Structure 1
Amino acid sequence: MSTSDVTSVLRGMLPSLPTKLHRVVTFYLDNPASAPKLTINEVAAATSVAPSTLTRLARMAGYDSFGAFRSALAANWAIRSYTSREDEASSDISADDDLASVVKKIAYLDTESVASTARSIDLDVLARVTERLVGARRILIFGVGASHIVASDLHQKLLRISLPAHSPGEIHTALTMAALLRPGDLLIAFSHSGATPEVLDVAHIARERGCGVLAVTNDRSSELARLADDVLFTAAYETSFRAGATGSRLAQLTVVDCLFIAAAQQTLDESQRALELTFDAIQSRRRNSAAAKPATP
């Protein structure tokens, strides 16, 4: 794991954490400079938890020990302290911001979501999932709300390179398709929180059918992350004025583009031919539409 993404990891875990772990993570996020300097016993005393709670948090965040977790936090602060923190420090959008400030802050937050997600992607997982993707008999892609928009985008991209993808738009169809999955198929489940009930229902059925499950989520401690065979984590950062769908959508689309390009690389000749055929088909339609328009007097 990159040392520069540990803060994003903690933010992503925060919504679903129990009280004690939530208190510890909040302490680290509120004290990014001083908290990494504290020993495990000092942090435990400051947050009124047992040292074992901190060891548990470190492992949930993807580290083998509290020492590795603490080192990552210190490195993260060192990296950020060498960069301008003006935008980060004032990135929460308030009711008093003028439009110029709103635009600047949105640009910063969107850029940070994409960059942090790129740093969070485990390349070994991406390579393994890509192998399963290009070899799958059937690919079911599912998400709800804004995550459905992202699922549809991946569906369209995979169809362009002739991969057998499906992206149902409502839960009954998704459950029906999940029930017909079998070993060798792949479910790609999108949920920013990792706790969307409809997505979890589909994932449970897919697992029962012996189908591989890839989760794309922001929360490492979520039920969806625990249920999946593989997880590609996003690192979207939201503020009080931005619904979760804003940064999460951009972060998920970053993962989508990585999956698509990786799959196209592995099937380069077939993908190039498919892209040419589909491009020509669409261009033909555009030419026909243009020819049908009446001339401007």
Structure 2
Amino acid sequence: MAGFLRIEQMRAGFSKSEEKIADYILENESKIPKFNVKEFADSVGTSTASIVRFAKKLGYQSFVEFRLGFLEYLKESESGTTVYEAVEKSDSMGDIIDKISSGNSKAILDTAGSLNADMVARAVDAIIKSERVFFFGVGQSALVAEDFQLKLMRIGKDSIFYKDTHSQLASSVHLKKGDLAIGISNSGSSIEVFKALEKAKSKGATIISITTLGRNPISQLADMDFHTIAEEKNYRTGAIVSRMAQLTIVDILFIGVARMSFDEVRDDIKETRSMVEGLKRV
């Protein structure tokens, strides 16, 4: 089902031909499993090669795999097993618990399933080898950036995050080769994050981005780009779900870093915990 969420999330990066295919799929869901590739192409008014390329862009190996995936998606929708829906004013607390937990769980699993293990390994290596790690993010993404920075600080990694966006932009001037800049933006188009990463890149820093799926200005700047898959609904649950997906990527990268020097990291975490434990008791 994640493949079909990608249609909306990747739309900004589609060519005109791909937009035409996407529109047809979303307007004619029930017809898709009945088509072979030629029938589908004829119905859309495009070539079979374009249909196959579109399926591969969504993460499928072939049109047949795409069609089977779509059939599974329709069965889930009809059976009601897809619980996550928009939160409505009339919902009970039980409904809200089910919808939010289902949405968060789905975003975590879909995002994890889209990650490339080789790229994760490259990013972990870049964090370990960097002299300093700078974080850039605004709004909800700033909370995720701060979470990542605090995790790295606890294991002794030189990491910097400024909550004030002007300070973030000013700090980007001081990055240099050997530094790492991590930009987090759900939309992939936050102007403050884009400008900070653009400056960091011009200074020779390595760039990692965490954004929504598809082509966007921030991911295009990155040496390693990670994408969240989170279905946005109303009542701001989209912000909740995307944040959970971002935190999943952050935790995977952090544990990857910690694993490389486990004994050292364990001692660092124990020592940092001991510094504040006594303050938690009256």
* TM tier, smaller: 0.7 to 0.9
- Select which of 110, 114, 123 maps to 2:108: 114
Unmatched 5+ residue regions in structure 2? none
1:88 and 2:88 correspond: no
Cα drift, residue 93 of structure 1: 3.4
Quickly say closer, same or farther: Cα 1:178–1:52, change in 2 above 3 A. Answer: farther
CA distance in 1, matches of 2:215, 2:168: 25
Question: What secondary structure sits across from 1:237 in the alignment?
Answer: coil
Residue number in structure 2 paired with 1:207: 201
1:84-233 residue pairs with structure 2 within 5 A?
A: 85-88=79-82, 91-233=85-227
Between stretches 156-165 and 237-246, larger displacement belongs to: 237-246
CA distance in 2, matches of 1:31, 1:158: 48
State the AA in 2 paired with 1:278. T
1:47-62 residue pairs with structure 2 within 5 A?
A: 47-48=44-45, 54=51, 57-58=54-55, 60-61=57-58
Question: What secondary structure sits across from 2:265 in the alignment?
Answer: helix
Is the CA contact (8 Å cut-off) linking 2:132 and 2:179 kept in structure 1?
Answer: yes
CA distance in 2, matches of 1:203, 1:54: 35
1:70 and 2:63 correspond: yes
CA distance in 2, matches of 1:227, 1:37: 40
CA distance in 1, matches of 2:234, 2:11: 15
Quickly say closer, same or farther: Cα 1:282–1:229, change in 2 above 3 A. Answer: same
CA distance in 1, matches of 2:42, 2:88: 34
State the AA in 2 paired with 1:264. A
Question: What secondary structure sits across from 2:147 in the alignment?
Answer: helix
Quickly say closer, same or farther: Cα 1:22–1:164, change in 2 above 3 A. Answer: same
Residue number in structure 2 paired with 1:6: 3
Is the CA contact (8 Å cut-off) linking 1:5 and 1:76 kept in structure 2?
Answer: no
Equivalent pairs counted in the alignment come to 281
Is the CA contact (8 Å cut-off) linking 1:218 and 1:234 kept in structure 2?
Answer: yes
TM value normalised by structure 1: 0.83
Is the CA contact (8 Å cut-off) linking 2:33 and 2:71 kept in structure 1?
Answer: no
TM value normalised by structure 2: 0.87
Q: Deviations over 1:182-218 (max 9, x none)?
A: 1111111111111111111111111111111111111
Aligned sequence identity (%): 26
CA distance in 2, matches of 1:237, 1:151: 21
Q: Deviations over 1:75-117 (max 9, x none)?
A: 4346557868414277233444343323222221111111111
State the AA in 1 paired with 2:131. R
Between stretches 96-105 and 107-116, larger displacement belongs to: 96-105
Quote the RMSD (CA, aligned, Å). Answer: 2.8
Cα drift, residue 258 of structure 1: 0.4
Quickly say closer, same or farther: Cα 1:43–1:227, change in 2 above 3 A. Answer: farther
